[in-house]
Amino acid sequence: MTMITNQFVNDWVKEMAELTKPEEIIWIDGSEEQLEAIKQDALATKEMIELNQEKLPGCLYYRTKPTDVARDEKRTVICTRRKEDAGPTNNWVDPQEMYDKMGKLFDGSMKGRKMYVIPFSMGVVGTEFSKIGIEITDSIYVVLSMAIMTRVGKDVIDALNAGADFTKCLHSKADINEQEKYIAHFPEDNTIWSINSAYGGNVLLGKKCLALRIGSYLGKQEGWMAEHMLILKVEKEGEEPKYVCGAFPSACGKTNLAMLTPPDYFKEQGYKVSTIGDDISWLRIGEDGRLYAVNPENGFFGVAPGTNMKSNPNAMLTTMKGTIFTNVARNLDENTVWWESMDKNPPANGEDWLGNPWNGPEAEVKGAHPNSRFTAPAANCPIIANEFATGEGVPISAIIFGGRRAKAEPLVYQAKDWNHGVFIGSAMASETTAAANGQVGVVRHDPMAMLPFCGYNMAEYFQHWIDMGKRMTNPPKIFHVNWFRTDENDKFMWPGFGDNLRAILWMLDRCDGKIGAESTPLGLAPKKGDLDVTGLDLSDEVMEKLFAVNKADWEAEVEGIQEFYDKFDSLPVELTDALANLKSEIEAL
């Protein structure tokens, strides 16, 4: 039995239990026996389904309500005493008003249910990066998912008993009433309250809520950064490993890039890629003036559709054991799972994500929801880097910003310096995806891929980026990429996936000062021949189109950036100057 001796923790749990009124309180110690017993509960109530234990050992299937399948940005709020501290890009509610409103919803919300108390750490306990949270929930899905996605166990409890500060996270699925769904953050109280959802992004409170929204706020106070970034390790035999971070909006290929398989041509030259993280980076400045990153998570909450043995074999292999699949289709003959483009054999005797009978080969509707997910332990990943487990920061050579853009944005270019890179990040735009409720495919500004995840005023966030740059003697170089540019027939021009390594190697050569670059209105582009496209069937004409900077497109871009900037009362002068500069460069084209 877990003993929490930290009185502050016990008082808070008692207070939350008095509010939510569960029939029983269970402390999660992370032991296998305890998680197994809880899983059996979920199977008995059919909250979850056990999949084929020979083919998918330890794997479970879970379905959310059809109205609860993605993050809900409209119902996600930042509650600071002053509205301007949340800024123009966040939904703001006064903290007391929100506590009162949600307090009424939480009142008795766990009646007749068990309350689980999950002490967890983001980051490896004992490292300077680690932040402790405690999530209270009435959902077994949350308990089992948190046990995959975060570090749960005795060392977290020991840290709490030694007096560690913690983020207070309260979740209740209540009755999943979407009219009363709220995901509320109280950065000034280090508190998160989420009610009436069971979708991972809204309820696994260590992830988006703590590691990004509260994390970014803490990072601003404490002089570090919480970012929506993957971390990739690139090695060439006989050379020092290099580390790269990449910020891309949700469902734009971070997991695929983080787990990429080098094309044979590069493997033969001794290149190797390993994964450190696929979604979140916490970054601190080291004594040597470089920027160091960790992945604070312990698992992957990846988008299933589109993942297959060609696009991402490492992700496929990661999900073969100990994984929870949510809202994918089921193969009833084999008791396994299926999703669009997993393979060419959709099950004829299947069930779609809604639980309806589904005949894959003849089906007119999708089997899996476009935002269906796998929740898989990072340790399963065949190419997980050893630095992942130690939780020590890795020195970052390059930061990549990227979006999903059919037009305008070239394949790759480099920022002229750190502040110009901050401008490029602040001006980023991308097509919306199924990861959040709302229309898909609409271009919107999503600075640093943090629009839905920044826990405070984004103008101050940009300033924080600029200030971090000033504190580094050897900052990472900053780049922008677009894997998604299409031709006049709406076909992608760049092969993507493993071939994205080609752009990364160009970046690393730039970081090492091995090659020059060409000045363009946007920044520094590869000189002809420097981006190695050996073995790709790309004509000169396509290469030109991939890198073209079109005047009319960029006049519209500049206008769009200006419109976005106009939302803010004031922005760092470094950014407004960079925009003015871009505008005159485009005019001169």
- Residues recognised as catalytic: 252
Q: Which of 29, 135, 279, 574 binds ligand OXD (CB under 6 A)?
A: 279
3-state SS, 17-76, equals: HHHHCCCEEEECCCCHHHHHHHHHHHHHCCCCEECCCCCCCCCEEECCCCCCCCECCCCE
For the segment 225-264, give every residue that binds Mn ion (CB under 5 A): 250
Structure tokens at 479: 């780049």
Considering beta carbons, is residue 87 or 302 the nearer one to ligand OXD?
302
Q: How far is the CB of 280 from Mn ion (least distance, A)?
A: 7
Residue number, nearest CB to ligand OXD:
250
Q: Name the residue nearer to ligand OXD (CB basis): 133 or 200.
A: 200
Separation between Cα atoms, residue 78 and residue 84, nearest integer Å: 11
In 335-446, at which residue ranges do the beta strands (DSSP E only) sit? 336-338, 350-351, 357-358, 373-377, 394-402, 412-414, 429-431, 443-445
CA-wise closest residue to 323 among 30, 38, 47, 50: 50
# residues near Mn ion by CB under 5 A: 2
Spell out, one character per residue from 383 to 422, where the chain touches ligand OXD: x when CB under 6 A holds, - when not: ----------------------------------------
CA-nearest of 275, 252, 281, 278 to 262 is 275
List, edge to edge, every strand of the sheet that includes 357-358.
336-338, 329-331, 350-351, 357-358
Residues of this chain, 301-340, that bind ligand OXD according to CB under 6 A: 301
Please, what sign has the CA dihedral across residues 144, 150, 151, 153? Answer: negative
Nearest CA among 377, 378, 376, 346 for reference residue 363: 346
Q: Copy the structure tokens of residue 55.
A: 């083919």
Widest Cα–Cα separation across the chain:
71
For position 451 contacting ligand OXD by CB under 6 A, the verdict is no
Query: Least distance in Å: CB of 67 to ligand OXD?
Result: 17
C-beta closer to ligand OXD: residue 204 or 398: 204
Closest among 219, 224, 221, 216 to 285, alpha carbons compared: 224
Q: With b meaning 16 or more CB within 10 Å and e meaning fewer, what string describes 280-317?
A: bbbbbbeeeebbbbbbbbbbbbbbbbbbbeebbbbbbb
Binding residues for ligand OXD restricted to 31-50, rule: CB under 6 A: none
Rounded least distance, CB 69 to ligand OXD, Å: 12
Q: How far is C-alpha 93 from the geometric centre of its chain's CA atoms?
A: 25
Tokens of 47: 């909250």
**Residue 478 binding result from ligand OXD, Mn ion, none, given CB thresholds of 5 to 8 Å by partner type:** none
Among ligand OXD, Mn ion, none, what does residue 323 contact (CB within 5–8 Å per kind)?
A: none
Residue 195, sorted as left (phi over 0), alpha (psi -120 to 50) or beta, turns out to be beta
What is the rounded distance in angstroms from the CA atom of residue 550 to the CA atom of residue 552? 6
**# binding residues, ligand OXD (CB under 6 A):** 6
Shortest distance, position 272 Cβ to Mn ion, whole Å:
25
Smallest distance from ligand OXD to CB 358, Å: 25
Applying the rule CB under 6 A, the residues between 195 and 254 that interact with ligand OXD are: 201, 250
Residue with the shortest CB distance to Mn ion: 279
Work out which of 110, 329, 398, 435 binds ligand OXD, going by CB under 6 A.
435
**Least gap, CB of 137 to ligand OXD (angstroms):** 18
Q: How far is CA 584 from the centre of its chain?
A: 35
CB of 250 to ligand OXD, least distance (A): 3
Nearer to ligand OXD, 78 or 450 (CB): 450
In the complex with ligand OXD, the residue whose CB is nearer, 225 or 558, is 225
What residue type is assigned to position 233 of the chain?
Answer: K
Please list every residue from 477 through 536 that binds ligand OXD, using CB under 6 A. Answer: none
CB of 279 to Mn ion, least distance (A): 4
Binding mask 63-92 for ligand OXD (x = CB under 6 A): --------x---------------------
Residues 6+ apart with CB under 8 A from 537: none
Pick the closer one to Mn ion by CB: 452 or 572: 452
Task: Considering only residues 330 through 369, tell me which ones interact with Mn ion, judged by CB under 5 A.
Answer: none
Judged by beta carbon distances under 5 to 8 A according to partner kind, the member of ligand OXD, Mn ion, none in contact with residue 578 is none
> From the list ligand OXD, Mn ion, none, which binds 151 (C-beta under 5 to 8 Å, kind-based)?
none
Instruction: Return the one option of ligand OXD, Mn ion, none that residue 435 interacts with (CB less than 5 to 8 A, by type).
Output: ligand OXD
CA distance 360 to 347: 5
Minimal distance in Å, beta carbon 334 to ligand OXD? 28
d(CA 360, CA 343): 11
Compute the least distance from the CB of residue 514 to Mn ion, in Å: 33
Q: CB-wise, 203 or 383, nearer to ligand OXD?
A: 203
Q: Is the four-CA dihedral 145, 146, 148, 152 of positive or negative sign?
A: negative
DSSP of 291-302, one letter per residue?
EEEE---SEEEE
Among 72, 279, 409, 532, binds Mn ion (CB under 5 A): 279
The CA–CA distances, whole Å, from 561 to 14, 227, 428 equal: 49, 21, 9
CB nearer Mn ion, residue 279 or residue 574: 279
510 contact choice in ligand OXD, Mn ion, none (CB below 5 to 8 Å, kind-dependent): none
Using alpha carbons only, what angle is made at residue 206 by residues 218 and 312, rounded to the nearest 5 degrees? 115
Q: Which does residue 301 touch among ligand OXD, Mn ion, none (CB within 5 to 8 A, set by kind)?
A: ligand OXD
Which of ligand OXD, Mn ion, none has residue 201 at its interface (CB below 5 to 8 Å by kind)? ligand OXD
Residues that bind ligand OXD (CB under 6 A): 71, 201, 250, 279, 301, 435
Residues that bind Mn ion (CB under 5 A): 250, 279
